[in-house]
Amino acid sequence: MFEQSDPVVAFRMAERLTLTAAVLLIALIVMIGFWRSVQKLDVDPSKGLGIGGSVVLSTPVFVLLTLVAYAYVSLSNPISVDPHAAEAPDQVASRDQPAFLGASRDAAPVEDDAYDRTIAQRRVRSLNCLAEGGSLSPRLEDDLADAKLMLMRPVWAGDWGAPDTFAAWARGQSTDAPNAAARAFYEERHVVC
């Protein structure tokens, strides 16, 4: 009838039995608590309903009708398990997507050039503050220039000119004046240094 090794089916059966036991327990409590009370609904013909007399609905009858309705709903909807839902493949984003909604380990990052440029600028400012205090050897100056260029290259603006020309100027290999905005980005320091 069902595969006993499937924990989902066993869980659904236990869930259905627990719910049935809870409904029966509540029905028993209602029956005991209101055993002698009787609800009487008077239907007055003067109210325009067209029905004379009254209807008496006692609590046991009401509880019995509720249990019959619950049993009908419970038995008419059998336990079903969709095997494809449990074996859904991971939703994985590709690197080409700007954003991805879903739960996955490899979601594509959201590209935000302004944010990335701000972070790179903050790091270049920090490097300039660290280098400001003392005299650096030529090797350290070259390493500092390379570090700042590595921070700038991923966020390079198109109007700054060619990155290689700027890199040659930053390393002291060229005397051509670089773009003013790129130079300001490269040489800027924090206000607090």
Task: Give the position of tokens 């790179």.
Answer: 120
Residue 21: its pLDDT value, please?
A: 86
**Contact present, 99 and 110 (Cβ < 8 Å):** yes
What is the model's pLDDT at position 45? 52
Give pLDDT, residue 49.
46
User: Which residues of the chain carry a pLDDT beneath 50?
Assistant: 1, 48-50
Q: Which two tokens stand for residue 183?
A: 């130079």
Give the integer Cα–Cα distance in Å for 64 and 23.
12
Q: What is the pLDDT of residue 42?
A: 55
Give this prediction's pTM: 0.43
The pLDDT score that the predictor gives to residue 143 is 87
- Ordered by start, the domain boundaries in the chain are 7-82, 113-187
71 phi/psi in degrees, rounded to 5:
-65, -40
Residues 119-175 have pLDDT tens digits of 999 999 988 888 887 787 888 888 888 899 999 899 888 888 888 888 888 888 888
10 Å Cβ neighbour count for 95? 7
**Which pair of structure tokens corresponds to residue 26?**
């509540």
For residue 19, what are its two tokens? Answer: 């719910």
pLDDT of residue 175: 83
